[in-house]
Amino acid sequence: MDLYPPFEANASGMLDVGDGHSLYWEESGNPDGVPVLFVHGGPGAGCAAPYRRFFDPRFWRVILFDQRGCGRSRPHASVQANTTWHLVADMEKLRRLLKVEAWALFGGSWGSTLALAYGQSHPDRVLAFVLRGVFLCRPAEIEWFMTGMGTFFPEARHRFAQHVAEDDGPELAAWYRRLTDPDPLVHGPAARIWYGYEEACARLIPRSDGTEADLASCLSMARLECHYMMHGGFFEPDQLLRHMDRIRHLPAAIVQGRYDVVCPPTSAWDLAAAWPTARLTMVPDAGHSAMEPGIRLALVAAVENFKKTLGQENLHKILDTAR
């Protein structure tokens, strides 16, 4: 089946997580259902109403939130006190605020990275994983984003590279200087070019170059992606794969576009190899975007499958805890 019909949030709010950051969160679906947390990508993308539609609102208690610096969270596009481990701690604060005992995690692209980092930090708080467009934040994956995508989208790569061609030093560092420059005349055009580069490469059939996106969305995505890439995701080498023993016992579904140029399938393959109980689905006619037809069908199917197992094994425990 395809996405569920649109439905509205039941509750929303702002959560003060310290360091001057306040996060937007919302709940929808069944207040007494199995909790599932949507972990958005980017870093910097934020959440949107269509993301609720991967979930049956009669069964799931659907929780969305905007990570630090993203979407409706404040301050916007801030890189201060913004690391993977701040975000993991924020997710725990949100879980406690909403009185969730344990939840399923649904994350794509950077959302898969953060879901794995959270799960490995708090395995007793995770019921299951649904991951899409896997990104393990390894140096080769970052280098692929910066240069390798040009193998398939040379025109997009050319526009991207030309924007910092006159800068000295490594290209990623040049981007970081521009995107964190306080002058809007510097960081604004850079944000649009960075955002447009990824947007041009994100689908099997390219849809746009991102020029129609608002500047705020471009800035949070570009600045935070560059910030996290500059710092290697704040991970030790191969950290996510090396710590798989912490979550290997948990059920997982991995959905990967065969022609994902942003996060190539080798990362999903490596993750599945380290996670023998995970189900890896290679979608033969899709790229990176969660909203491509084949990807969204596979994601909904994965969520539907977990309705059976989580409903049978965990729902009574979760409902007793909620009461």
Options 73, 109, 121, 217, the catalytic residue: 109
Residue 2 falls inside a structural domain: no
Cβ atoms of 178 and 204 closer than 8 Å: no
Is 158 among the residues known to form the active site? no
Residue 175 sits in which domain range?
Answer: 140-233
Average pLDDT on 290-300 reads 97
Cβ atoms of 44 and 222 closer than 8 Å: yes
Is 288 among the residues known to form the active site? yes
- On average, the pLDDT of the chain sits at 95
Residues 68 and 135 placed together within one structural domain of the fold: yes
CB neighbour list of residue 50: distance below 8 Å, 6 or more residues apart: 3, 6, 291
pTM for the full predicted model? 0.95
User: Hey, how many other C-beta atoms are within 10 angstroms of the C-beta on 212?
Assistant: 8
User: Hey, how many other C-beta atoms are within 10 angstroms of the C-beta on 230?
Assistant: 17
Say how many domains are in the chain.
Answer: 2
Domain boundary residue among 218, 233, 248? 233
The predicted-structure confidence for 3-53, as pLDDT tens digits, reads as follows 999 999 999 999 999 999 999 999 999 999 999 999 999 999 999 999 999
Options 187, 260, 267, 289, the catalytic residue: 260
Cβ atoms of 40 and 67 closer than 8 Å: yes
* Phi, psi of 77, rounded to the nearest 5 degrees: 60, 30
Cβ atoms of 61 and 33 closer than 8 Å: yes
Q: Is 134 exposed, middle or buried (0-12, 13-18, 19+ CB in 10 A)?
A: buried
Residues 148 and 15 placed together within one structural domain of the fold: no
